[in-house]
Chains A and B, each alone.
Chain A
Amino acid sequence: MEIEVILAISMFLVAIGALLAGFPVAFTLGGVALVFAFIGISLDVMSVNDLKNLPSRIEGVMRNGVLVAVPFFVIMGVVLERSRVAEDLLGIASRLLGQMRGGLGYAVVLVGALLAASTGIVGATVITITLIALPTMLKQGYDPKLATGIIASSGTLGQIIPPSIVLILLADAIANASAQASTSLGGRAVSVSVQDLFSGALIPGLILVCLYLGWIAFNAITRPERCPPADVSDLPPLKAREVMIGLGAPLALIFAVLGSILLGITPPTEAAAIGAGGAVLLAGFRLSEDSPTRLRPLLYAALASAALLLALNAGFELSVKQDTLTGIDKAAQLLAFLCVFVLIAGLGAGLVILRRARHLKSAFTSASHITSMVFVILIGASLFSLVFTGGYRGDEMIEGVLTAMPGGVWGALAITMLVMFVLGFFLDFIEIIFIIVPLVAPPLIVLGVDPIWLAILMALNLQTSFLTPPFGFALFYLRGAAPDEVQTLDIWRGAIPFIGLQIVLIIAVAAIPALATWLPSIGTS
């Protein structure tokens, strides 16, 4: 065997071993790469110039306009979370559905799907839902196995349902892979956008939600004692106003953001920024419910201005490039300027209300930290790939392995999925996207695999991996947040039916690629 191959393989194995020691992933990846770069340089296998590309890789991340959507979605998520919008959402949903058998379960699944926007990081969603929902479910007499299974699987739903952050990162990685594959295909390859991946994930995601709901319904019918109706007699009845602010407003925001991306009205980055702004307004409304403030009218004014702006845009010529605006258009334009001013003032009011409730600093601290965490991993992974791919030609090695697999495309796909599944036990989605996807996706696309279909299969596969005992991430975080009387074995056993549902869906998507590719294809045509 050539020395490069040995080094590339050992670099990969050492990286996995080093990761288990528990030092932050971003630096472990980059650091192991540096150690192997040092070995490679001293053996004269690679040159020090390979490392000099690191700053331009970092600048590439800094200038990536698509990835700007990530911090916007993160801001939207943390603001909604800190202002207890997520908590209200679950509270109201479970009071609306709770009196049914299995009602709390339905509520958790639906909220898990809706929380997709707020985080792409498995841990955060699972912990949030566990803390809010698990104690209630247990108190109402839910079987711990069923309750924890519902929570763990709903917590991972957020990854596959748009607008999730991991889908944005995956889209970026798949788009690069696709561009790379297109050079070896002689220019014929599809380009992939975030919008494509969002619409590709929509149908499988919704099917998954239905499968989960169906499984709960099946339980409610066959073994009603596992998911009894909740007792809500001691709670005051829901007021229409509560439902509107707690349920209607977040739903409207999420659908507006998602709809404008899926319908191609705005690019994801812009929709995400609107989502972040909307979340700030919503947080303002929610928090001023508890402690009335004189700033509240400003929030209403901002909403009214936004509506007025849309109306003005439809009815008048507002362009600042037109020198000869008629009197009425000129007046409309001035009014529009005023509306913009009020809109910004409303956002400011939202921020002030957040600040008074002492949520502003903590929300933006975690937004900055999460964003930094994501992109520092990307930098660490870039360093890893500089050495692995640039120095040792490890990508060619992987390409060789994949193309030599028995069974052609399906063999290559199967081994890829298997490796990702196992890696999913100890690496989070983000790391796998940054390290594995750039290595395996280009050869697979060259072999003729549709990039969108591939991405959706990967996402479903990883989501299953996170649910699989004993190492699944979701179970791990659930264990951490669950009360002690819940047995770990119950958590593991509870996950099994949901893994079954996942596998059903993976087989369906693998057999019928149109489930993933049909919606994006009507978007482009």
Chain B
Amino acid sequence: MSELFLNIGTGLRWLGIAALPLLLLPLLTLALPKMFAAPANWLRPKLDAISSSTLGISMTLAVFMVGVQILVIVGRYLFDWSASWANDLIIYSFAGMFLLAAGSALKHDAHVRVDILRESMSPNRRAAVDLAGLYLFLFPICLLIIWSSVSPSFIRSWANFEGARETDGLPITYIFKTLVPLFGVLLSLQGLSEGLRAAQTLRRSSNGIDTESPLGVTDGN
């Protein structure tokens, strides 16, 4: 069983490495718009859809953890009952909630910015800042997170299906640890989508077309 997962893991690693050049797509659409605009337009909604669906999971976990925590409180104070797995459920939901929503928060511009200067920037300028920030900051961070979290100890964790610290804990520590590289992957995918959006803004303005939706405007909820 663990053999199978290790093989899948190796496969995913190579897939990830093979997909790395994809991160250059926003720059390519700027350099060679004719060639790359079509695949970029095809890809962006797909990437956004991934973030939306992980946001759905995050929201479900948020509702779930309130319910579980209330049951744990009732159990502890009234029925003299407690279990590590119930506490693990809360902690794991918490971790999933904030890690899985990070991409969607990027999409909806919910990550705080220092907007003193940004306020007065043109949409073009903002797009340029976003593109630079993605390549200088966001992508390197995501790659570091993925690279450093898929460590030998992480692989051991999957090979042994690492259980909980407590005997009655939730025996899915290996899945818990997988949230970290998953966070890196999801964030870089949404980053790619943001990069494509920024590149589109820049391209439109260089073609003399007005940019009707400047970057950073959220689309409702």
Q: Contacts A52-B148, A72-B66; is A27 near B78 (CB within 8 Å)?
A: no
Q: Is the CB of A368 within 8 A of B137?
A: no
Q: Is the CB of B69 within 8 A of A273?
A: yes
Q: Mark A127-158, 1 if CB is under 8 A from B, else 0.
A: 00000000000000000000000000000000
A340 within 8 A of B: yes
Q: Is the CB of A62 within 8 A of B99?
A: yes
Q: Is the CB of B138 within 8 A of A274?
A: no
Q: Is the CB of A31 within 8 A of B133?
A: yes
B77 within 8 A of A: yes
Query: Which residues of the partner chain A approach B67 to less than 8 Å between Cβ atoms?
Result: 344, 347
Question: Which of A21, A273, A319 is B79 in contact with, Cβ under 8 Å?
Answer: A319
Which listed segment binds B: A183-191, A371-379, A393-401, A505-513? Answer: A371-379
Report the minimum CB–CB distance from A194 to chain B (whole Å).
16
> How many B residues, CB 8 Å from partner?
65
| Number of CB contacts from chain A to chain B under 8 A | 219
Query: Which residues of the partner chain B approach A370 to less than 8 Å between Cβ atoms?
Result: 110
Query: Which residues of the partner chain A approach B137 to less than 8 Å between Cβ atoms?
Result: 18, 23, 27-28, 30-32, 34
Q: Is the CB of B144 within 8 A of A372?
A: no
Report the minimum CB–CB distance from A233 to chain B (whole Å).
39
Nearest B-chain residue to A369, judged by Cβ: B110
Report the minimum CB–CB distance from A179 to chain B (whole Å).
21
Query: Which residues of the partner chain A approach B126 to less than 8 Å between Cβ atoms?
Result: 22
A300 within 8 A of B: no
Q: Mark B88-100, 1 if CB is under 8 A from A, else 0.
A: 0011001101110
Query: Which residues of the partner chain A approach B97 to less than 8 Å between Cβ atoms?
Result: 71, 368, 371-372
A19 within 8 A of B: yes
B210 within 8 A of A: no
Report the minimum CB–CB distance from B177 to chain A (whole Å).
7
Nearest A-chain residue to B140, judged by Cβ: A34
A283 within 8 A of B: no
Q: Is the CB of B221 within 8 A of A362?
A: yes
Cα-based distance from A14 to B43 in the complex (angstroms) = 34
Cα-based distance from A371 to B104 in the complex (angstroms) = 12
Report the minimum CB–CB distance from B216 to chain A (whole Å).
9
Cα-based distance from A346 to B154 in the complex (angstroms) = 42
Q: Which of B60-104 contact A (CB under 8 A)?
A: 62-63, 65-67, 69-74, 77-81, 87, 90-91, 94-95, 97-99, 101-102, 104
B5 within 8 A of A: no
Q: Contacts A22-B114, A32-B137; is A63 near B145 (CB within 8 Å)?
A: no
Query: Which residues of the partner chain A approach B177 to less than 8 Å between Cβ atoms?
Result: 59
B106 within 8 A of A: yes
Q: Contacts A270-B73, A309-B74; is A428 near B148 (CB within 8 Å)?
A: no
Cα-based distance from A373 to B104 in the complex (angstroms) = 10
Q: Contacts A31-B133, A372-B110; is A365 near B221 (CB within 8 Å)?
A: yes
A336 within 8 A of B: yes
Q: Is the CB of A63 within 8 A of B79?
A: no
Q: Is the CB of A380 within 8 A of B141?
A: yes
Nearest A-chain residue to B70, judged by Cβ: A277
B13 within 8 A of A: no
Which listed segment binds A: B21-29, B33-41, B115-123, B199-207? Answer: B115-123
Cα-based distance from A427 to B112 in the complex (angstroms) = 10
Q: Is the CB of B117 within 8 A of A269?
A: no
B180 within 8 A of A: yes
Q: Contacts A68-B91, A340-B74, A361-B221; is A375 near B133 (CB within 8 Å)?
A: no
Cα-based distance from A31 to B221 in the complex (angstroms) = 28
Q: Is the CB of A22 within 8 A of B110?
A: no
Cα-based distance from A117 to B140 in the complex (angstroms) = 36
Report the minimum CB–CB distance from B174 to chain A (whole Å).
13
Query: Which residues of the partner chain B approach A276 to less than 8 Å between Cβ atoms?
Result: 66
Q: Is the CB of A58 within 8 A of B141?
A: no
Q: Mark A333-364, 1 if CB is under 8 A from B, else 0.
A: 10010001001100100010000000001101
8 contacts between A and B (CB under 8 A): A24-B112, A25-B112, A55-B154, A68-B65, A273-B66, A351-B63, A365-B55, A426-B116
Q: Interface residues, chain B, CB within 8 Å of chain A?
A: 55, 58-59, 62-63, 65-67, 69-74, 77-81, 87, 90-91, 94-95, 97-99, 101-102, 104-106, 108, 110-118, 121, 126, 129-130, 132-133, 136-138, 140-141, 144-145, 148-149, 151, 154, 176-177, 179-180, 183, 221
Q: Which 4 pairs, one residue from A and one from B, show the smallest C-beta to C-beta distance?
A: A31-B137, A23-B133, A22-B118, A24-B111
7 more contacts with CB within 8 A, not counting A19-B114, A22-B113, are A52-B148, A63-B95, A320-B81, A368-B55, A372-B98, A372-B104, A373-B112
